[in-house]
Copies of this chain bind each other. A is one copy, B any other.
Amino acid sequence: MTSIHTLHILNKAPEHPRTAECMNAIRSGDALLLTENAVLALSILDDQAPMAQVYAIASDAIARGFGQSGTKATLVDYPAMVKLTAQAQHLISW
């Protein structure tokens, strides 16, 4: 397990203004965790993916029809989310 500087936890749809704020705040060494409506970014994320590892809550992704989209983000469960929060030095819930 590598260390994460800041884990950005985002639960807003891509149109929400806080999504852009979050994306602007991500830096090298950070990680991004998509939860709830934020998993909709899986249909939009591509070349312009942020310079960070991207995770998404599997149950939220599958509920919204993104069961097969493991390529753009690592689908994780809540035990993995807990591990990420423990690994990260800082947390920001957007």
Contact = CB atoms under 8 A, between A and B. Distances in A.
A13 B13 CA distance: 17
Copies of this chain present in the complex amount to 2
Interface of A: 13, 15-17
Nearest to A14: B17
A37 to B, nearest CB: 12
Contacts of A16: 17
A25 to B, nearest CB: 16
A80 B16 CA distance: 32
Contacts of A15: 17
A16 B17 CA distance: 7
3 contacts: A13-B17, A15-B17, A16-B17
